[in-house]
Structures are given as structure tokens and as C-alpha cells.
């Protein structure tokens, strides 16, 4: 009996082992698949902190105690079956994380790229010729973005875009510091001091400014120039009375201007009088240095109010001119009898509200200087539109207004897309000459195309446009296949083909009856995009590139 019992136990154990063997191999295979999936996720750049939870769960599963089957293989069967299922679930979770992280990084990198492109366009509009390196970098990033597939690609592109954006932000303060140093040198030269060495320093600083591409480059330069200014001021004590007088004279002129703009300058005038009195009574070097420091402080305190007042005055002038010109220059729609101001793109539904929003959010001197520049450019483009209204030059020839804008933005060499809203025409310039032109349709009254100086920063062919408006909205549209799309302003402002239209040119941006297009969507202007026939969109897409400048007026 003992022998029989032992034999039975051995047979049961061997039976259990055979059953376990298949399940154990399956669990081992599922673990290998999980490990391979985790390795793949790590290889494509999914961050370690995202995967850590799953890796910890795998460790817990691996270290769970294995049951020992004596009389039944059910515990082991359930154990290995559960093990295989746990590995499968973790594998699916890793795959889900890959998709989620990729989508999140794709979206974030797109935002980073748009911030980069927007700030680059701002610096270019301000006349910084040093932006070419950044424009080239943007083109590289955009090309990489078009080919990106994995998180590591988006992480690399996003980091590059953010670094370039930060460098462009610092470009303004660095230029301000360089300008201050240059002005100080001029003041010292006017007081007949030898400034040969200082001018060499200024040239060296300018060389560094033009070659700077990284945030650290600009930060070091700002610190260097500020130190040079401080040292120069301290070492040129004999010029302080003259320099102080010049600064106070300029401060007085600035306060006069601010008063004309409606700013209460009583407190600033009191500080001006106190500074002038202190300068008149200064005797020792220590006195002059103390007065000089106070004058600098008082001048600095006026800069933001001065720039804010200047920007506010320019914006007020801009809005008033838009209203006045629009009231006397209107398009009377033959279809509905309504009258539309011809400069509606500059009104509140267009760039007018953008300028007001920029004024509301401005905080630093650089913000206000950029806003002053924006307001001046808005007025410049408005005047160009007003001039184009009376210009009878054929659409396919060089226009004087185009040339003036090309010269203003220093774009007489190279390729530029110019859009005339009054003419509803597009011209592509190469080195100041028209190489192609055709009629277009721009944004309707409630969704205008945006005048200004921009750049192409997204190119897609083909693509699909999806409405950002809910169904039932007046601006909703079904998913639309587009063959050639080039985005010139963040928010979905594109140059693209519009196969649903038959008519282009003057009047097509207002309500009308299209002669042969889809009447559901062709009877008004676009939603802010610049529409054109597919043939012309194809030509433009294949004859321009990332970073191509765009002037719309």
C-alpha cells in the first residue's frame, strides 16, 4: 500500500508539472513581450517617470510567491494564467502610454513652434536683421516636425523651439543695453573725451549681439554691457555734469511729450527739478556720482509710462483713422444692399482687437516697445491700403505700395508674398520683381484675414481642415480636404486652395453669388484664410518654402 501511495503521488506531481509547463511558458512569453514593449517605449523617448509605475507593477508581479502543487495543479494553473494576463494588461498600458505621450508632446511642440514663429515675426517686424539664424533654425525645426513620429523627436524639437524663443525674448533687452551704451559713448564724445577704446568695445558687443543664438549668449552680453556702462560712468566723472545735463534735457522733452499724450507728469517734473538742483550744487566726485545715479533712476522710472503713453496714443490714432476712412470708403453689396467699410480687417474684428489685447497684457519695456512698433506698422499697412484704393496699376505689375513695404521691412532681396486686400490680389516678389500674381478671396467681414508682416511656418500637402466651431454655428464647416496649405499666422490662418469656389477677386470677400462653386460655402469670404484656385495654390506651394515672408495690407 505504501508503494502504491508513493507511486500515485509521483504520478499526480508529474501530471501537475506537465500542465504547469505550458502555462509557465506562456507567462514567460508574455513577460518577454512586456519587456520588449517597455524597451521600445524607452527607445522612442517615453520619459522614465511615465513608465515607472508600470515597471514597478511588473516587479511586484515578478516577485509574487509561486504556489507548490502537491495534490492538484489548480493553484499553479491559476497562478500562471493570472501572471500571463497581468503581463498582457501591462503591455497594453505601455502601448497606450506611447500613444498618449506622443499625442501630448506633438500638441505641446506645435504650441512651442507657434510661439517661436510668432516672436520671430515680431523681431523681424522690429527690423532686427540678426534674426536670419533664427529663421533658418525655425525652418529646420519645421522640417523635423513634418517627419517627427516619436516622443524623442518632439522632445528634441520642442526644446530647440523653446530655447530659440527665450533667446529672441532676450534679444530686445540686449539691444536696449547696447543702445544705452552707444548713447553714453556719444555723450562722452560730445564732451570731447577720448572714446576710441569704448567704441571698440561697442563694436565687439555688436559683433557678439549679431552672432548670439542661445539664451546664455544674450544673458552674458547683457551682463557684460551693463558692467561696461557702470565702469564707463564711474571712470568718466569729468563728463558727468555734461552727461547729466543732456539726460535731464531729454527727460524734460519726454515729459512734455507725455503731457501732450494726456499723462499726469507732475510727480516726474518734481523729480526733474530736484535732479537739476542737485546737479547744479554738486561739488565733489562723490556728489556727481550720486546725482548721476539718481538721474538714471528717475529716467528709468519714466520709460514704461512714456512707452505706454506713446503706444496708447498711436493705437487711439490708429482706431480713429480706421473708423474715419472706413466711414467714407465702403463696399455696397449688390446682393444684400448692406454697406461694409473697406478697411474692416483693421477694425476690432481684425487686428484692432489684437493690438488692444497686446496693450492690456504688456508689462515690460520690451513689451511696450514691441507694441509701439506694432501700432506704427498697423498704421503703415493701413496707409498702404488707402493708397492702393486709388492705385490703378494692373495686379500683375509692381505696385508702389508694395515697394514701400518691402523697403520698410528690408525685403528688397529674396522672396516675399504680398497680398493686397483692396485688390483681392496676391503677388509673389523675387528681389523686388513680380514673378507671379493672381486673384484671391480673403476673409469675410466677421472673419477677416489679418494685415501685417508674417511668415509661413506650417506647410501641409495634403491635409484636412476641421472646424473649430460647433455644428450649428454660422462659421461651422464639415471636414474639408485641402490639397495645399501654408499657415502664415497662428490660429489657423492659411494660404490654401478652395476647390469649392469658382470666382476670385474684388467683391468675393463679401456676400455674393458664386458663378459655379458650391453655393453653401462659396457665397462669402473665407474664415480668415487666403483662398485661391487649386492650380495657383499648387504653384505657390511649390515655389515657396518655410519661413517665406508675407506682407498683407
Domain 394-552 in this protein, CATH class: mainly beta
pLDDT at position 293, please?
85
DSSP helix, strand, coil percent of the chain (3-state; round to 5):
65, 10, 25
386 or 241: whose pLDDT is higher?
386
pLDDT at 70 over 60: no
pLDDT at site 285? 67
The secondary structure of 88-153 as a DSSP string is HHHHHHHHHHHHHHHHHHHHHHHHHHHHHHHHHHHHHHTT-GGGHHHHHHHHHHHHHHHH--SHHH
| Stretch 423-441: mean pLDDT | 97
User: Could you tell me the three cell numbers for 402?
Assistant: 508694395
Integer Cα distance of 259 and 250 in angstroms: 14
Return the pLDDT at 124: 87
The three-class DSSP label of residue 399 is coil
Mean pLDDT of 209-216: 94
pLDDT value of residue 37: 94
Q: What is the pLDDT of residue 159?
A: 95
- Please tell me the distance from the alpha carbon of residue 139 to that of residue 148, in angstroms, as a whole number: 14
For Cα atoms 400, 405, 409, give the angle at the middle one, nearest 5 degrees.
Answer: 150
Q: What is the Cα–Cα distance from 237 to 287, expressed in whole angstroms? A: 10
- 125-146: per-residue pLDDT in tens? 888 888 989 989 998 998 898 8
Average pLDDT, the chain: 90
Match 552727461 to its residue by C-alpha cell.
243
Q: What's the pLDDT at 14?
A: 43
517 vs 542, residue with greater confidence: 542
Distances (CA, A) of 419 to 54, 343, 463, 495: 54, 14, 23, 11
Which of the pair, 82 or 550, is modelled with greater confidence? 550
Q: Can you tell me the mean pLDDT for 74-89?
A: 85
State yes or no: pLDDT of 20 exceeds 70: no
The mean-pLDDT minimum among 171-175, 289-293, 396-400 falls in 289-293
Q: What is the pLDDT of residue 395?
A: 93
Is residue 193 scored above 80 in pLDDT? no
**What residue has cell string 548670439?**
212
Q: How many residues does the chain have?
A: 553
User: How far is it, in rounded angstroms, from Cα 479 to Cα 469?
Assistant: 12
Side-chain half-sphere of 41: how many Cα atoms within 13 Å? 28
Residue whose cell numbers read 495686379: 395
Q: Does residue 92 register a pLDDT over 90?
A: yes
Q: pLDDT (tens digit, 9 = 90+) per residue, 271-284?
A: 999 999 999 998 87
Cell for 456? Answer: 509661413
298 near 250, Cβ under 8 Å? no
pLDDT value of residue 232: 84
Averaged pLDDT for residues 251-270: 94
**Predicted local confidence at residue 382, as pLDDT:** 98
CA–centroid distance for 3 within its chain? 86
pLDDT tens track for 351-391: 999 999 999 999 999 999 999 999 999 999 999 999 999 99
Residues 524, 512: Cα–Cα separation, whole Å:
6
Separation of alpha carbons 241 and 284, rounded Å: 11
Tally DSSP H helices, then E strands, for the chain: 14, 13
Comparison of pLDDT for 68 and 425, the residue scoring more: 425
Nearest-5° angle of CA 278, CA 237, CA 251? 50
What pLDDT, on a 0 to 100 scale, did the predictor assign at position 161? Answer: 95
Q: Region of 341 please: left (phi>0), alpha (psi -120 to 50) or beta.
A: beta
Element (H, E) at 4: helix 2-43
| pLDDT tens-place string over residues 531-544 | 999 999 999 999 99
Domain boundaries, the chain: 248-390, 394-552
The DSSP symbol for 550 reads: E
**3 state SS of 466:** coil
Cα–Cα–Cα angle for 410, 415, 420, rounded to 5 degrees: 80
What is the C-alpha separation between 364 and 7, in angstroms, rounded?
A: 90
Question: Which is higher by pLDDT, 428 or 522?
Answer: 428
Q: Are 440 and 504 in contact (CB under 8 A)?
A: yes
Grid coordinates given for 317 = 490714432
Q: Name the pTM for this structure.
A: 0.71
Per-residue pLDDT, 73? 57
Note the pLDDT of residue 301. 93
Q: What does DSSP assign to residue 494?
A: E
User: Roughly how many angstroms between the first and final C-alpha of the chain, as a whole number?
Assistant: 106
Spatial distance between the Cα atoms of 265 and 342, rounded to a whole number of angstroms? 39
What is the rounded distance in angstroms from the CA atom of residue 397 to the CA atom of residue 425? 11
Query: Around Cβ 209, how many Cβ atoms within 10 Å?
Result: 20
Q: Cα(170)–Cα(366) distance, rounded to whole angstroms?
A: 9
pLDDT at 267 over 90: yes
What value, to the nearest 5°, has the Cα angle with vertex 46 and ends 43 and 49?
Answer: 120
Amino acid at each position: 500500500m505504501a508503494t502504491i501511495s508513493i507511486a500515485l503521488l509521483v504520478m499526480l506531481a508529474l501530471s501537475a508539472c506537465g500542465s504547469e509547463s505550458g502555462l509557465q511558458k506562456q507567462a514567460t512569453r508574455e513577460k518577454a513581450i512586456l519587456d520588449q514593449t517597455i524597451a521600445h517605449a524607452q527607445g522612442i523617448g517615453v520619459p522614465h517617470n511615465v513608465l515607472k509605475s508600470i515597471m514597478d507593477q511588473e516587479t511586484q508581479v515578478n516577485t509574487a510567491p509561486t504556489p507548490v502543487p502537491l495534490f492538484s495543479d489548480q493553484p499553479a494553473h491559476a497562478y500562471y494564467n493570472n501572471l500571463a494576463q497581468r503581463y498582457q494588461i501591462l503591455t497594453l498600458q505601455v502601448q497606450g502610454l506611447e500613444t498618449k505621450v506622443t499625442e501630448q508632446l506633438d500638441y505641446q511642440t506645435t504650441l512651442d513652434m507657434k510661439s517661436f514663429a510668432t516672436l520671430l515675426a515680431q523681431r523681424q517686424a522690429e527690423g532686427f536683421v540678426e534674426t536670419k539664424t533664427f529663421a533658418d533654425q525655425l525652418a529646420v525645426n519645421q522640417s523635423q516636425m513634418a517627419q517627427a513620429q516619436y516622443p524623442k523627436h518632439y522632445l528634441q524639437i520642442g526644446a530647440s523651439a523653446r530655447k530659440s524663443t527665450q533667446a529672441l525674448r532676450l534679444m530686445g533687452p540686449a539691444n536696449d543695453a547696447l543702445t544705452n551704451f552707444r548713447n553714453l559713448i556719444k555723450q562722452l564724445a560730445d564732451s570731447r573725451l577720448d572714446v576710441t577704446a569704448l567704441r571698440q568695445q561697442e563694436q565687439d558687443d555688436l559683433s557678439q549681439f549679431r552672432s548670439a543664438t542661445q539664451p546664455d549668449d544674450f544673458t552674458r552680453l547683457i551682463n557684460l554691457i551693463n558692467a561696461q556702462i557702470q565702469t564707463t560712468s564711474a571712470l568718466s566723472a569729468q563728463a558727468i555734469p555734461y552727461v547729466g545735463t543732456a539726460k535731464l534735457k531729454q527727460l524734460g522733452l519726454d515729459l512734455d511729450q507725455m503731457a501732450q499724450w494726456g499723462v499726469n507728469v507732475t510727480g516726474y517734473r518734481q523729480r526733474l527739478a530736484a535732479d537739476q538742483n542737485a546737479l547744479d550744487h554738486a561739488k565733489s566726485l562723490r556728489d556727481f556720482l550720486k546725482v548721476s545715479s539718481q538721474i538714471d533712476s528717475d529716467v528709468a522710472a519714466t520709460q514704461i509710462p512714456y512707452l505706454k503713453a506713446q503706444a496708447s496714443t498711436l493705437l487711439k490714432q490708429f482706431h480713429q483713422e480706421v473708423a474715419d476712412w472706413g466711414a467714407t470708403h465702403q463696399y455696397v453689396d449688390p446682393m444684400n444692399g448692406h454697406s461694409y467699410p473697406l478697411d474692416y480687417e483693421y477694425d476690432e474684428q481684425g487686428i484692432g482687437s489684437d493690438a488692444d489685447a497686446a496693450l492690456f497684457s504688456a508689462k515690460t519695456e520690451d513689451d511696450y516697445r514691441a507694441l509701439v512698433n506694432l501700432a506704427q506698422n498697423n498704421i503703415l499697412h493701413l496707409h498702404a491700403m488707402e493708397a492702393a484704393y486709388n492705385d490703378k496699376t494692373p495686379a500683375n505689375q509692381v505696385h508702389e505700395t508694395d515697394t514701400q513695404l518691402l523697403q520698410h521691412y528690408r525685403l528688397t532681396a529674396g522672396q516675399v508674398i504680398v497680398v493686397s486686400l483692396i485688390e483681392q490680389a496676391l503677388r509673389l516678389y523675387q528681389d523686388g520683381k513680380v514673378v507671379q500674381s493672381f486673384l484671391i478671396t480673403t476673409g469675410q467681414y466677421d472673419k477677416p484675414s489679418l494685415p501685417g508682416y508674417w511668415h509661413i511656418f506650417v506647410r501641409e500637402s495634403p491635409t484636412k481642415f476641421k472646424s473649430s466651431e460647433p455644428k450649428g454655428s454660422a462659421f461651422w464647416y464639415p471636414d474639408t480636404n485641402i490639397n495645399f496649405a501654408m499657415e502664415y499666422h497662428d490660429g489657423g490662418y492659411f494660404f490654401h486652395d478652395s476647390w469649392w469656389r469658382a470666382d476670385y477677386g474684388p467683391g468675393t470677400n463679401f456676400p455674393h453669388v458664386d458663378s459655379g462653386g458650391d453655393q453653401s460655402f462659396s457665397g462669402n469670404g473665407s474664415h480668415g484664410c487666403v483662398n485661391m484656385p487649386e492650380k495657383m495654390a499648387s504653384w505657390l506651394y511649390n515655389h515657396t518654402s518655410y519661413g517665406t515672408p508675407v506682407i498683407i495690407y
